[in-house]
Structure formats: structure tokens, C-alpha cells
Amino acid sequence: MNERYANHYRVLGIRPGTSWKELRKAYKSLVNIWHPDRFQQNIEQRKLAEEKTKEITQSYKELAEYYKKFGELPGLPKVAETSTAEDIAPQDVPETHPVPDVQEAQTPAAGSAPPQRHEKRWSKLEARTMAVTALAGFVYFVWQILPWDRSDIPPQAKKQAEQAADAPIDENSNRREPVPEKYFTYGSSLGEVYAIQGVPTKTEHDIWYYGKSKVYFAKGKVLRWEDSPDNPLRVILAAAENDKLNTMFFSEGSSKEKVLAVQGAPDRDAESVWDYGASRVYFENNRVKGWDESPFNPLRVRR
């Protein structure tokens, strides 16, 4: 097992050779602990949480890919046949010996052999075990001591995190079922954007940054976005699946979400102008300001 996978185990706070079920459980637990929404009032803690979430997610992803390819997780490193069980047992703690009294060490009994000094050398496995123990203690401190309200995580975000950990991997097969691609659109929630686009590189009030791209929110729903080709967003101009709006007509003052539900995706989106063939719909502050209708491409507007 190379050092990269060993580091992933340390990040997730589990031992090499653990089961896939335990790995998923550890991942979900850490995502809940380090969710950035818990740190809305403290910018420094929120930045730390965002970095930890990225690190945890990357470690889980690479271990999951290994499991997908080989049908098992990276195990314990191979040892020589002369090694004892004490050398490889991850739960063993290095044995300590009492320090002899200085005077006794300087004045050995007559006829006895002079005392020999034995230096305790820790193996790499023991050092890793101690590192995992320290990480577990830190996670316990974060979870139990710091004054966080565990109910702060939006239910939708928590549900999406659990769904990510429960990705459809067949434990009896090395092949993974293809997962359909998902997109967000106007009206999508914070949790949906988080689950589809991932952790933002920066947040500022109601704006989430993904590199050069931006997603704007209003009352927890996607209002609009700015998509950069350097950092493409997983967006689609389509009405939400659970949209219950009146899909008969739109009129002046209707939202972009309503126009999508009624008229469908435009042929061209220029933020303040949507083209439907030779017809056009004009927006101001994401609300319908007016339109130009061609008889060749009629609009479903209420006149």
C-alpha cells in the first residue's frame, strides 16, 4: 500500500484493511462534522471547514475508485515472514518500560553483569497507528467540545451527502453502475447546487464562486449564474422537475423560472434577452419586462 492511500486512511480516521461499510460510515460522519454551513458566523473556521471537506471528499473518492477497480480497499502492507504479530497489529501501543533508578544504574550488584541499554525503535506502522489515534482524538474534540449546533446542517445537504456516500457500488462485483449526470437550474436549492457542483472555492453573502464562475442565490434558491469556460458549471436551462407553477402562460413581471416552465429553454440566453427563434423576451432584474413576438415563433404570453 503506497503512502497516498495511507494518507487517505489517516484523513478519514480509519485503519488500512477496513471494510467498505466502515469507510462509508466514516466519510458520512466527517462530512457532517466539517460541513461549511456550520461556520456561517466565523469566516476563518468556515475556510478551514471548506478545505477539510475537500480533503475528506478527495480521500473518499480515490479509495472508492480503488474499490471499484479491485473489489477491495487497499490493505495492510506486506511484512517479512520473520515479523511477529506485535509488529503488524495496528491496535498495539508501543510498550513502555520503567526507567531504572540512577543510583542503582551506577552501582550494580557485585558479580552481576553491567546493565545494558535498550533503545526502543518505532516502526512505520506504529507511527501511523499513533497518528490515527491522534486524529481520532482531534475529531472527538471537534465533535464534543466545540459549541456547534448539529441541527445547523440543511436537511437537503445532509441527505445529498448521504446519497454520495451510498453511491451504487456493487460489493459483489468490480463493475459500477453508471450514474446519470445531474444539473442545476433556476430555482434549485443550496443543497442541490452543493451536491451537483461540489464545494465552492469561495462564498460571499448570496454568491458562490467556482473559480471564475459564479452562482447567485435569493432566499436559498438559484437566481442566476455566470458561467466561465475555464470553470464550467453543471447547469441546464430547464424547469425544475418538481415545478408546480402554472404552465399555461407567462406575462410581464414573470420570473425566468416561470418562463422556462411555460416556454421551455431559449435558443439563446443573453442574460437580459432570451431568443425563441425570431421572437424575444426581455428581462430586467430577472423579471419579464417585455417581448417581441414573431408569428413564426409564437410566445405563450397572457395579453
pLDDT for residue 163 is more than 60: yes
Indicate if the pLDDT at residue 143 is higher than 60: no
* Per-residue pLDDT at 118 exceeds 50: no
Q: Which amino acid is at 210?
A: Y
Does pLDDT of 96 surpass 50?
A: no
pLDDT attached to residue 176: 52
- What average pLDDT score do residues 170-186 get? 64
Residue of 184 and 81 predicted with greater confidence? 184
Long-range contacts of 162-171 (CB under 8 A, 24+ apart): 162/28, 163/195, 164/195, 165/24, 165/27, 165/28, 165/31, 165/60, 166/24, 167/64, 169/20, 169/64, 169/67, 169/68, 171/20
pLDDT at 104: 41
Top-confidence residue, 90 or 7: 7
What integer is the mean pLDDT of 185-212? 90
Mean pLDDT of the chain: 75
pLDDT at residue 127 in the model: 77
The pLDDT value recorded for residue 289 is 93
Tens-place pLDDT, residues 42-79? 888 888 888 989 999 998 898 889 888 888 888 755 44
Burial 201-212 (b: 16+ CB within 10 A, else e): eebeeeebebee
Nearest 10 degrees: CA dihedral of 217, 201, 33, 206? -20
Q: Is 29 exposed, middle or buried (0-12, 13-18, 19+ CB in 10 A)?
A: middle
